[in-house]
């Protein structure tokens, strides 16, 4: 059978949804889910950003005021500073896993 | 065009959302119905799948990606529903004589019940391949089957459709002879 013929037969034999409000129900559900999200003063992203900026500032001020910091302190400080990145990475992995479902 | 549609839908344009749903709902419903054999269940599965996909529409760049994911969710939701209900898909094999008669697209009767001979998997694969113009790679992504398995299903579906059409033509001829 030719490609066009198969396509035509398939098109003709598609079943249609009898519910007239099918699209409306879907769109309504989408809006409801948006309304369910309660407004917050600080979002997750902004909290992580603020934490990053503050910890970086503390690290810089400390290194300027105290002078040379011991390597161990510096490593601990940097590890704490970059810790919010882990949440961002976990979020990315979670999003990718949803897409791969 | 499909890119624009997705961008509009991302921005919450109801017209674009409606168009996006209309573009895919009939095939999605046909696939779900073939698997579940129940109108209400099929409608529910399609509706839920649309909600899941549209909620995360922001992660899609174009309609092709959107539809691949939509059909993947529909297909797997159908399997989940079947598993849940412990339904077994009954398939009665039908045997036809292979005859290479000319098939007339305008003869409605030639294609009557042509899809009844196809298994849900075969119908899913052939409709995605021809109607949605998905590649075997994309269909493999949707169904989680191997590429070679998709090719086998496509070949089998084509063969069955041809046999069913030929059988219908044969029956028509027989009826015509009997009447005259």
pLDDT at B29: 93
- Going from N- to C-terminal start, the domains of chain A cover 42-101
CB contact under 8 A, B55 and A33: yes
CB B118 within 8 Å of CB B124: no
Query: Can you read off the two tokens belonging to residue B70?
Result: 């939509």
3-state secondary structure chain B: CHHHHHHHHHCCCHHHHHHHHHHHHHHHHHHHHHHHCCHHHHHHHHHHHHHHHHHCHHHCCCHHHHHHHHHHHHHHHHHHHHHHHCCCCCCCCCCCCCCCCCCCCCCHHHHCCHHHHCCHHHHHHHHHHHCCCCCHHHHHHHHCCCHHHHHHHHHHHHHHHHHHHHHHHHHHHHHHHHHC
- Each residue's pLDDT tens digit, A30-52: 865 554 556 666 777 777 778 77
CB contact under 8 A, A1 and B131: no
CATH architecture of B1-88: Orthogonal Bundle (1.10)
Sign for the pseudo-dihedral over CA of B56, B19, B121, B45: positive
Q: Does A21 touch chain B (CB under 8 A)?
A: no
Nearest to A29 among B18, B51, B72 (CB): B51
Distance CA A95, CA B58 (A): 11
Distance CA A16, CA B65 (A): 23
Q: Which of the listed ranges A35-39, B60-64, B84-88, B124-128 does the model predict with the highest average pLDDT?
A: B124-128
The distance of A51 to chain B (nearest Cα, Å) reads 27
- Report the pLDDT averaged over residues A4-25: 85
- The dihedrals phi and psi of B108, each to the nearest 5 degrees, come to -60, -40
Same-fold call for B1-88 versus B91-180: no
- Going from N- to C-terminal start, the domains of chain B cover 1-88, 91-180
The distance of B5 to chain A (nearest Cα, Å) reads 15
pLDDT at B45: 93
Q: How far is CA B4 from the centre of its chain?
A: 25
Residues with Cβ within 8 Å of residue A89, at least 6 apart in sequence: none
Angle at B130 (CA atoms; ends B106, B137), nearest 5 degrees: 165
Distance CA B71, CA A8 (A): 21
- Report the pLDDT averaged over residues A77-84: 76
Q: Does A35 touch chain B (CB under 8 A)?
A: no
Instruction: Write down how long chain A is.
Output: 101
- Closest residue of B to A29, CA-based? B51
pLDDT at B93: 43
- Each residue's pLDDT tens digit, B131-141: 989 999 999 99
pLDDT confidence bin for B163, thresholds 50/70/90:
confident
H/E stretch holding A61: helix A44-66
| Whether domain B91-180 has CATH 3.30.70 | no
In a 13 Å sphere around the CA of B180, the CA atoms on its Cβ side amount to 5
């Amino acid at each position: 059978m030719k490609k066009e013929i198969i396509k035509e037969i398939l098109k003709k034999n598609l079943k249609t949804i009898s519910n007239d409000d099918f699209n409306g129900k879907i769109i309504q559900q989408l809006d409801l889910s948006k309304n369910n999200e309660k407004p917050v003063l600080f979002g997750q992203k902004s909290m992580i950003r603020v934490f990053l900026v503050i910890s970086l500032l503390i690290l810089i001020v400390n290194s300027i005021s105290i002078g040379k910091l011991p390597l161990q302190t510096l490593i601990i400080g940097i590890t704490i500073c970059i810790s919010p990145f882990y949440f961002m990475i976990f979020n990315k992995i979670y999003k990718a896993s949803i897409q791969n479902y | 065009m499909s890119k624009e549609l997705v961008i509009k839908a991302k921005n919450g344009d109801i017209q674009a959302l409606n168009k996006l749903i209309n573009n895919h709902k009939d095939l999605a419903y046909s696939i779900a119905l073939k698997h579940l054999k129940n109108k209400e269940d099929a409608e529910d599965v399609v509706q839920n799948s649309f909600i899941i996909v549209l909620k995360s529409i922001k992660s899609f760049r174009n309609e092709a990606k959107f539809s691949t994911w939509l059909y993947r969710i529909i297909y797997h939701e159908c399997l989940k529903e079947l598993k849940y209900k412990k339904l077994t898909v009954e398939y009665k094999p039908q045997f036809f004589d292979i005859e290479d008669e000319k098939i007339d697209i305008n003869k409605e009767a030639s294609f009557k019940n042509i899809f009844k001979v196809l298994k849900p998997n075969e119908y899913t694969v052939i409709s995605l391949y021809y109607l949605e113009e998905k590649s075997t790679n994309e269909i493999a992504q949707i169904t989680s089957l191997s590429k070679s398995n998709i090719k086998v299903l496509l070949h089998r579906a084509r063969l069955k459709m041809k046999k069913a059409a030929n059988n219908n033509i044969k029956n028509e001829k027989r009826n015509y002879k009997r009447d005259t």
